[in-house]
Each structure stands twice: as C-alpha cells, then as structure tokens.
A and B are shown apart, each in its own frame.
Chain A
Amino acid sequence: MALTDWTFTPTPGMEREFDRLRRQMDDIFGRIGLGAAAGFPAMNVYDRPDDVIVAVQAPGVRKEDLTLDLRENTLTVSAKREAPLYRNASVLREECDYGEFKRSLRIPSRVQNDRIEAQLKNGILLVSMPKSEEAKPKQISINA
C-alpha cells in the first residue's frame, strides 16, 4: 500500500475493527444521551441568558448548499456536501460523509424569529437566536 495511517492503523484489519467499535460506542452513547454520536452535520446547542446559539459543524459545505428553517421551536438544517471529483482516481480511504443531509433540533426556548442571524466560517455554521422577552431569565425582587 502506498500510504499507511501512522497514528491510528497498526494493520488495515485492526483499523476496521477499531472503526466498527467506535461506531458501536457512538451508537450506544448516542442512544442513552451521553453526547457524541449523531450524523452529519454535528450540532451543539448553547443556551445563554439572552440568546440560544446553535453551532453546526459542516466542513466542505458551501454557503449556497445550506438551508436553515425554523418552524415553531424546531430548527431544521439541510446541507449538501459534494464528494471530491478527481479524474481517474482510485479511492484509498474515505472517512467523510457526502450527500444530502437533513437534521432537526428542538430549540430550548422561545426566540425572536425575525432577529435570527447565521454565519458560516471555516466550515462551522453559527446560528444565533435572540430569546423573546418572556423567555429571558428574570430576577424577582422580594419585598420585605
């Protein structure tokens, strides 16, 4: 073989075993809600006092191939990632996901639909959604 993966692959068979094991672990931990797992693109949600931020990790996805849609409190991300095209190439290894993807996520709070901003930078999409007034935390003063 022309190229071997130095850090991760003692032997090709072993690499497959590791990969299979990792996928199984991801699957199990994903199902019992311990983070990790999930498909492409991976998403993180940050709940802050004034806004909710969703970060979408979408390397290789161009801006024009991303669609965001908010319906009620469900944010849907649609993405298309095209596989690389090389003339007369043989694929020696491919670990990345290509094709069309769609994922939905429940936003933990009411947000102001008309003030949502999204920015794609270095393969990470940041969606910031300001909370609506009634969803913001409020301190209640106690009268003596």
Chain B
Amino acid sequence: MATELEKRPRREASKKTAEGNAESLLELQNAFLPDAGIYETEDNLFVRLDLPGVEKGQVQIEVDETNTLQIRARNEFQEPDGIVFREFSVGDYYRSFRLGEEFSKDNISAKLEDGVLELAIPKREEVKPRRISIKA
C-alpha cells in the first residue's frame, strides 16, 4: 500500500528555505530536517546532525552575514525498488541555526562519520572563560 502519506517525508524542511539561496552548491530536493544534538563546552559549540546516506564531500556548510549557520547535504543512498514496508524516507537534508555573536565563524571544523556530521564551532578568544590565578 503506497499511500500519499507514506511517501511524504516525516519532517520536511521548508522547500522555500532550501531553494531560496542562489549560492547553493547543492540543488536540494525534498530536503529533510535532520535530528540534531548541540553541546557547549568551554571552548566550543559542537553541533551534531544525523545524516544517514551522506558521503564525505556531499555536505555544504556556510555561515551567512546574518550569522545563520546553514547545513545542506545530499543523500547518496540509492533506494531499491519494491518497497513493501517503510519507516524512513530518503531525501537530502537541510537545517539552519542562528549563531550567537560569541562564536567564530571562520574556524568551523567538520567531521563526517557513519552518517553523523559533527561541527566544532570555536568561541571567540575574548569570550572564553579565564581562570585568574591569585598571587599570595
């Protein structure tokens, strides 16, 4: 049974948002909002996104002038034919976050492993906590 509902992505990102950026390197179609985890340490912000099916080199990360972090990824998974039972749909991924002023947008590093993207966004030096030693 292939109802319209089954074919619809579970969490579809706004298509307008995904296509609105003319500079996009990846022409995303049917983009999903991937699940995310966000962790803050003293020096960094770590953003993790579940991107199953995405190969290295198929992720585009950018921070625009409004400090919006945008992540686009192309899903390379080729779905076999003959679906009889579906719990997940296959499509590209798009998600964006607004970054605070305390983060440096120039030194973001990214790692993709087992379909999980991890971004490390360093805090700017002047906002890092400092321990002040007390002299006797």
Contacts and interface: CB of A to CB of B under 8 A. Distances in A.
- Answer whether A and B are interacting partners: yes
Interface of A: 1-8, 22, 26, 29, 34-38, 42-48, 53, 55, 57-62, 84, 86-96, 105, 108, 120, 122-124
B7 to A, nearest CB: 9
B41 A88 contact: yes
B38 A3 contact: yes
Contact of B3 (A4, A6, A34): A34
Contacts of B125: none
Given A6-B68, A57-B88, A94 B10 contact: no
A26 to B, nearest CB: 7
A107 B35 CA distance: 29
A1 B11 CA distance: 24
Given A22-B11, A36-B87, A84-B48, 12 more contacts: A2-B100, A2-B102, A3-B97, A6-B97, A7-B33, A7-B94, A7-B96, A55-B77, A58-B115, A59-B116, A96-B37, A96-B50
Contacts of B80: 46, 48, 53, 55
Contact of A2 (B40, B52, B96): B40
- Please name the 9 residue pairs, one residue from A and one from B, whose CB atoms are nearest each other, closest first: A123-B115, A59-B115, A123-B52, A42-B87, A45-B85, A35-B6, A42-B88, A95-B35, A59-B50
Interface in B30-67: 33, 35-42, 45-48, 50-55
Contacts of A36: 5-6, 10, 86-87
Interface of B: 3, 5-6, 10-11, 13-14, 17, 33, 35-42, 45-48, 50-55, 68, 76-77, 79-88, 94-100, 102-103, 114-116, 118
A45 B85 CA distance: 5
Contact of B82 (A4, A47, A59, A122): A47
B45 A3 contact: yes
15 contacts: A3-B97, A44-B85, A46-B80, A48-B80, A59-B50, A60-B114, A61-B114, A88-B41, A91-B37, A92-B40, A93-B37, A93-B38, A122-B55, A122-B115, A123-B115
A38 B36 CA distance: 18
A135 to B, nearest CB: 14
A16 B47 CA distance: 19
A89 B96 contact: no
